[in-house]
Structure 1
Amino acid sequence: MNAARGGSTLAAVRARGALRAVVSRGVPGLSACSARGVWSGLDTDVARAVAAAALGDGEAVEWVPADPADRLRVLAAGGAELTVANTTWAMGREAAWPVLFAAVTCYDGEGFLVRTADGITGPAALAGREVAVQAGTTSAANLAAWYGPRGLAVRVREYPTPAAALAGYAGGGCAALVLDRVALAGQRALLPVPGGHTVLPETVSREPMAAAVREDDPGWLRLCRWVVNLLLAAEHEVAQAGPGDGNRAAALERVAGAAGRHGPAVGLDARWAARVLAAVGTYADVYERALGPASGLDVPRGLNELWTGGGLHYPVPLH
């Protein structure tokens, strides 16, 4: 393997025998820990994919739960090699922290969870009311940007963690919980009677959630970027191959071969892509497990479809 091209971060991860990944403190569908200590969700599967590529074992991950305000702070300080914690890729964040975003993992937008019985049909109906947000996120700024030009305002109450924000809303003190709409689906599922609450259809911001790394190692940035892209490319290849287990297997083998031949140039071996796909499958597989009907959340793919299905995910060629 070409360890020099792979960079010092890859060497450190291998020396430790585990990838340290910053995740949220509990957002079902993205990164949440079960009572048995098992982490699951779209973000956690991205971390497993990186671990499979770098270490040959998708379970070789040390999870580092962090509050929203600390997601990039821990990474920048050297406490982790990867942040996958429903963190929006924003210029302000790359300008403020010595980090770079490697790839978009989920396209989303700021939304509102409200009590169905309140009859709130859109964001304007919340004007003058108190809403719960997580501190350290872009929510407060997004709300000001949407309400301000309309001559409206909401009263923002910040909470330090997802659980605290949900409790603030569930207790009746806040008229809405404001968070990315994909994350809201998971938060809604945690309420005693999920059916009594509605995620409004409107989005009031653009939230491309992305994996982040420190800016000091372009080799590690390259590795993480291509791991995420591999998941998307594999979904496209499987879709093009048509139905049937045989067609799927052949498609995955083609993708793994195309990406694998470039492994030595990025500090990996020729089997890295095959390991990733064996560990987590394609992006469609990851999404289905984390957010699709099988998860119980049933969040439509929407913008997270491939471009061929009307979404925004467009895999970069592997050749």
Structure 2
Amino acid sequence: MTTATAPDAHATNSHTANAHTSSPSPSRSSSPTLDAVRDRGALRAVVSRGILGLSQYDGGRWTGLDTDVARAVAAAALGDPEAVQWLPTDPAERLDPLAPGDAELTVCNLTWTLGREARWPVLFAGVTCYDGEGFMVRTDSGIEDPAQLAGARVAVQAGTTSAANLAAWYGSRGLSVEPVTFPTPAAALAGYAGGECVAYVLDRTALAGERAALPDPAAHRVLDTSISREPMAAAVRDSDPHWYRLCRWVLQLLVAAEHHVDEAGPGRRTEALAEAARLAGPHGSAVGLDEGWAARVLDAVGTYADVYERNLGAASGLGVPRGLNELWTRGGLHYAVPLH
């Protein structure tokens, strides 16, 4: 079972920021969203109802790549990475809380598309994970290629782009499948695991977590083929450019800090992170932050490499290769925007 909900899903997890990092100035900023977050003492972040590696409640704490992004924003804005009210939400409703101001950030394995920005009053602040839609099948099925699923029933989540991606990929080949829509990730996984569907279609990174949640992960495999482009991204309301800029630069900082560590070489991580924080810190005033914002972010979650390895890499037990999520210097798509 992958769905997990905190005893009080809207409760703030209290945690004291590390003593050696400074807290942001309490003065009013040019961002009404930042001011509201500070008045409340917590960031409200929309996450999935439970996908291992992305956002999962383990009975004591939310973990995952998406939740670490939210913690990074909270560290910058509030000085406390645990000052987050988690809002676990079904896929079809991931943007709903942003529009009326019921949340400040959506980090919920949500693909950045023109259609979503055109339809909703939101902006995507940056890519958190480059992905592609794939298929999980039973290992003993003999299925090696998505084309072999023609005519089969496949499980998809409501509110995702899966059905459209399936129609586009199979239709271009003169084939078709029968998408079976489920309202939640847990229901989709159960529909597949119970034999109602031959395959489960979802972003391949998310499928790695779903596979690990099954009683016998070895009995299932994720096919190598991706049928779509799925840049998962963090979303905010489009009415506050200062808050948008804050969230965007928190994400950029994680990538840039990894680049600084790589450039510095072995044994110089501490100096490299300090340099990244030194370069980025003075620009915090543009979004209502003090000069310690970047140091707090890196102290809270580390670099993008740390976030990925902890939640999706070998250290997580999932072992999802970084692939396109490597830095551009290693053939990936994450490009470090200069911090100076």
The bucket for the TM-score relative to the shorter chain is over 0.9
Number of residue pairs the alignment of both structures matches: 316
| Kept in 1: contact 2:29–2:35 (CA 8 A) | no
Q: For the residues of structure 1 that align with 2:27 and 2:146, how far apart are their CA atoms?
A: 51
Q: Which of 180, 191, 197 is equivalent to 1:157?
A: 180
What is the CA distance between 1:316 and its match in structure 2? 1.1
Q: Which of 37, 42, 63 is equivalent to 1:18?
A: 42
What is the CA distance between 1:173 and its match in structure 2? 1.1
Indicate whether 1:303 and 2:324 are aligned: yes
Indicate whether 1:86 and 2:109 are aligned: yes
| Kept in 2: contact 1:241–1:251 (CA 8 A) | yes
Corresponding residue of 2:263 = 240
Indicate whether 1:249 and 2:270 are aligned: yes
Alignment of structure 1 residues 107-256 onto 2, 5 Å: 107-244=130-267, 247-256=268-277
Structure 2 counterpart of 1:11, which letter?
Answer: D
| Kept in 1: contact 2:54–2:63 (CA 8 A) | yes
Indicate whether 1:264 and 2:267 are aligned: no
Question: Unpaired runs of 5+ in structure 2?
Answer: 1-24
Q: For the residues of structure 1 that align with 2:144 and 2:154, how far apart are their CA atoms?
A: 15
Question: Is the alpha carbon distance of 1:174 and 1:307 closer, same or farther for their aligned partners in structure 2, counting shifts above 3 Å?
Answer: same
Corresponding residue of 1:31 = 55
What is the CA distance between 1:128 and its match in structure 2? 0.1
Q: For the residues of structure 2 that align with 1:16 and 1:5, how far apart are their CA atoms?
A: 15
Q: Is the helix fraction higher in 1 or 2?
A: 1
Indicate whether 1:277 and 2:304 are aligned: no
Q: For the residues of structure 2 that align with 1:152 and 1:32, how far apart are their CA atoms?
A: 36
What is the CA distance between 1:75 and its match in structure 2? 1.4
| Kept in 1: contact 2:49–2:185 (CA 8 A) | yes
In the TM superposition, structure 1's runs of 4+ consecutive aligned residues that sit over 6 Å from their partners are: none
What is the CA distance between 1:79 and its match in structure 2? 1.3
CA displacement, residues 240-274 of structure 1 (integer Å, 9 cap, x when unaligned): 11111xx1000000000100011112210000000
Corresponding residue of 2:315 = 294
| CA RMSD of superposed structures (Å) | 1.0
The secondary structure found in structure 2 opposite 1:253 is helix
The secondary structure found in structure 2 opposite 1:261 is helix
What is the CA distance between 1:3 and its match in structure 2? 6.3
The secondary structure found in structure 1 opposite 2:324 is helix
Percent identity over paired residues: 71
Q: For the residues of structure 1 that align with 2:49 and 2:100, how far apart are their CA atoms?
A: 19
CA displacement, residues 124-177 of structure 1 (integer Å, 9 cap, x when unaligned): 000000000000000000000100111100000000111100000000110100
Q: Which of 29, 33, 53 is equivalent to 1:9?
A: 33
Corresponding residue of 2:9 = none
The secondary structure found in structure 1 opposite 2:172 is helix
The secondary structure found in structure 1 opposite 2:144 is coil
What is the CA distance between 1:77 and its match in structure 2? 2.1
Q: For the residues of structure 2 that align with 1:125 and 1:3, how far apart are their CA atoms?
A: 60
TM-score (norm 1): 0.98
Q: For the residues of structure 2 that align with 1:4 and 1:137, how far apart are their CA atoms?
A: 38
Q: For the residues of structure 2 that align with 1:98 and 1:295, how far apart are their CA atoms?
A: 35
CA displacement, residues 79-133 of structure 1 (integer Å, 9 cap, x when unaligned): 1000000000000000111111000000000000000100001110000000000
The secondary structure found in structure 1 opposite 2:258 is helix
What is the CA distance between 1:315 and its match in structure 2? 1.7
Q: For the residues of structure 2 that align with 1:155 and 1:102, how far apart are their CA atoms?
A: 34
Q: For the residues of structure 1 that align with 2:199 and 2:29, how far apart are their CA atoms?
A: 48
Q: For the residues of structure 1 that align with 2:289 and 2:97, how far apart are their CA atoms?
A: 26
The secondary structure found in structure 1 opposite 2:332 is coil
Q: For the residues of structure 2 that align with 1:58 and 1:6, how far apart are their CA atoms?
A: 22
What is the CA distance between 1:76 and its match in structure 2? 1.2
What is the CA distance between 1:35 and its match in structure 2? 2.2
Question: Unpaired runs of 5+ in structure 1?
Answer: none
Q: For the residues of structure 2 that align with 1:5 and 1:299, how far apart are their CA atoms?
A: 40
